[in-house]
Structure 1
Amino acid sequence: MTTTQQQIDFDRIAEAIAYLKDNFRQQPNLDEVAEKVHLSPFHFQRMFTDWAGVSPKKFLQYLSIEHAKKLLAEQKATLADASYDTGLSGPARLHDLFINIEGMTPAEYKNGGSNLSINYSFAESPFGNMLIASTPKGICHIAFADDGQTALMELYQKFPEAHYSQKMDLKQQNALFIFTHDWSKLHEIKLHLKGTDFQLKVWESLIKIPQGKLSTYGHIAQQINHPKASRAVGTAIGSNPVAFLIPCHRVIQSTGHFGQYRWGSNRKTAIIGWESAQSAK
């Protein structure tokens, strides 16, 4: 798989975001950040604004720890699921209403997908290249694919007995509309996932976190009625098989620090900032 211009641009944006994340307390100016990514201030400002929809200065606000703490403070640990729904107004958050999960049968879970037909394809996103895969029942896998071959091998390892076809189908196309916010083409997205009952509960809870909002591991544990299982929740979040659609990137530490991410902490920071910017429009 060749490196696309979008991937090149995101890599440069990610480098800038990493610098902003590490130095936000010093509030670096445009010239400083542009110099770090070897661009003129004018070119960097234009590229960044095209990508994020806001200026680097505004984006920096969304990366600050204080902003993260403010978002967390808006979401009390005792909120019921219905309370989440009240925050889903406006097109930027509609996708949370359209996603549901169907767990695989015990046989599908145990036999490595021997009866499954899986279509897969590579696609571009604002955060780099992705590998997306689907069964006849729904999306079963999405991963950021900085290395296409490695990403494909991880998919094969998850379902070693499945029959694979490199093909972009309608389920995949529909899921990818999430990134363009082309809501007129968005239908209900169904996920067909391999996971334990506990993992499925955690992933379902993640879907209820509105775009532009954040939660914590402890809060998710309370939502699924396992208040002492924060560590197990963290493990389930770390094994999320569907990047972005199941928004594990919206779960951060209770201190406000963003923490780790399966597909890179800088990418997690980029997604959080980008979603905050989109929701603030």
Structure 2
Amino acid sequence: MTDQTPIAGRSAYHFEVMRRAIVLVDELGPGARLDDLAREMQMSPAHFQRVFSEWAGVSPKRYQQYLTLGHAKALLRERFTTLEAAHASGLSGTGRLHDLFMRWEAMSPGDFAKGGAGLNITWGMADSPFGPALLMATDRGICGIAFTSEAGEAAAFEDLRSRWPDARYTEDAARITPKAEAIFGQGGEVPLHFIGAPFQIKVWEALMQVPSGHVTTYSEIAAAIGHPKAVRAVGTAVGRNPISLLIPCHRALRKSGALGGYHWGLPVKRAILAWESVRADA
């Protein structure tokens, strides 16, 4: 009998296996053998390798190389993106998750100051390659994506809702599901609606210039938006990005090569960076 589970659903299940495997790689070290990992996961080696490889695209052994702490430093050495050069060469349009065509518009500063008053936001849950995802959208486009595997669904919802506390929220799977399928499935046009302060929006726009499989630094973003000394403020704006993945805040690293923080959990950030690196190498 064939597996009728949707691709995104299988990917979400695979990510749960993947997330636990990341913890094991950290605990057992980079020399952990396939048999050791499979035993700890309570799976046969063959089944573990199949599930893992379907999600990652490579074997667990190969993937471990992308999960080491040194991988972030290697990305900075080999795939550091100068944002001005990326913008000039059109790199921002290549290598996205599904080559999505995205357009975006921002809420005016005056409207943002109202805390979302008068704004109708629909929301719903969806499977993604990085675990369960919470999506929010206005009539103009996606305004929020949160990954809930670390924080939990309720906490993620309150986190996003607190950014626009006076908006009206309606659960509407019928409206959210097609958007989730475009993002995590076969691709398609995905309009974005930036709801943030003007400085935050500048930072988010800069992040969208970083190609998949590449990284940048907080200081590079600060320079690119014309505020080279505002590194701390840039870091705060990166952390407040409400549209995970599509505004790729996971591609921002500290100048030292450290991962820095990630609003939805460092295991998710590490998984996304490794996942994108595998595909960039391929």
Q: TM-score of the superposition, structure 2-length normalised?
A: 0.84
Assess, with a 3 A threshold, how the Cα gap between structure 1 residues 151 and 121 changes in structure 2: closer, same or farther: same
Deviations 1:159-209 (A, max 9, x none): 2322222114657624542323x24xx12x322222111110111111111
The residue number in structure 1 matching 2:62 is: 58
1:124 equivalenced with 2:144 (yes/no): no
Q: Single out whichever of 137-146 and 34-43 deviates more from structure 2.
A: 34-43
CA distance in 2, matches of 1:92, 1:143: 16
Give me the CA root mean square deviation. Answer: 2.6
Q: Single out whichever of 215-224 and 157-166 deviates more from structure 2.
A: 157-166
Assess, with a 3 A threshold, how the Cα gap between structure 1 residues 90 and 139 changes in structure 2: closer, same or farther: closer
Q: Report 1:61-140 matches (<5 A).
A: 61-73=65-77, 74-75=79-80, 77=82, 79-83=84-88, 85-86=90-91, 88-89=93-94, 94-95=99-100, 98-140=101-143
Instruction: Give the superposition deviation at 1:65.
Output: 4.2
Q: Counterpart of 2:54 in 1: which secondary structure?
A: helix
Q: Single out whichever of 117-126 and 99-108 deviates more from structure 2.
A: 99-108
Deviations 1:31-72 (A, max 9, x none): 222233232221211110111111112212222344433322
CA distance in 2, matches of 1:80, 1:249: 20
The question of whether the paired residues in 2 share the 8 Å contact of 1:99 and 1:207 is answered with no
Matching residue's letter, 1:266:
P
1:14 equivalenced with 2:19 (yes/no): yes
Q: TM-score of the superposition, structure 1-length normalised?
A: 0.85
1:205 equivalenced with 2:209 (yes/no): no
Which consecutive unaligned segments of at least 5 residues does structure 2 have? 1-8
The residue number in structure 1 matching 2:242 is: 241
Assess, with a 3 A threshold, how the Cα gap between structure 1 residues 204 and 51 changes in structure 2: closer, same or farther: same
Q: Counterpart of 1:128 in 2: which secondary structure?
A: coil
* Identical counterparts, % of pairs: 39
Matching residue's letter, 1:111:
K
Matching residue's letter, 1:131:
L
Paired residue for 2:155, among 150, 155, 166? 150
Instruction: Give the superposition deviation at 1:139.
Output: 1.1
Assess, with a 3 A threshold, how the Cα gap between structure 1 residues 62 and 109 changes in structure 2: closer, same or farther: same
